[in-house]
Amino acid sequence: MKTVSVKKLAVSGVFCALAVVGSLFLTFPVLGSKCAPVQHMVNVLCAVFLGPWYGLGVAFAASVLRNLLGWGSLLAFPGSMCGALLCGLVYQLAKNLPLTLVAEVAGTGVLGALAAYPVAKGLMGLTPESYTVYILPFLISTVAGSILAGALVLALRRSGALEAMQSALRT
């Protein structure tokens, strides 16, 4: 059991680093947020390889690091964590990639965007005109990241590497 935990922790660190470094190269600012599609790709990869709780931890750690480095905003927390948890739970229950991608988009693009409003208003001092203001930019970011993740997971599945990688993290 400890070997599995160490492997998952190591993969979590790699995914966290990918999310943080990816946000340096592919980020676009919208209304106080810094949308990072690579984070959403990582959310899906965590769902497929690690499960919902590791995915939630990776999203939290990446958000902390992005904020400490000045590469993110407080909106990274609800934006990434809602999507990571929802797509992780869906993949754990259904083992269905298209459904997992939809869960990432719904979790980040809708739930995360709605949860971002009180963060923007209460913690960041922003005055968004509506509680729905972050839905469109979060949807754009999460759809882009989900497409990247879907393409990567499908390529891994076709090559036979997906099952081998998942198996290595189970044993």
**Mean pLDDT, consecutive 10-residue segments, the chain of 171 residues?**
80 96 75 73 97 97 93 87 97 97 96 91 79 87 93 97 93 67
Q: Do 92 and 52 contact (CB within 8 A), yes or no? A: yes
Q: Do 52 and 171 contact (CB within 8 A), yes or no? A: no
Q: Is residue 67 exposed (0-12), middle (13-18) or buried (19+ Cβ within 10 Å)?
A: middle
Neighbour count for residue 136 (Cβ, 10 Å): 13
pLDDT value of position 28: 66
pLDDT value of position 52: 97
pLDDT value of position 100: 98
pLDDT value of position 153: 97
Helices (H), 31-134: 37-49, 52-68, 76-94, 97-106, 113-118
Q: Residues near 161 by Cβ (< 8 Å), separated by ≥ 6?
A: none
Q: Provide the token pair at 57.
A: 């931890």
CA distances from 131 to 81, 114, 118, 136, 156 (A): 18, 6, 8, 12, 38
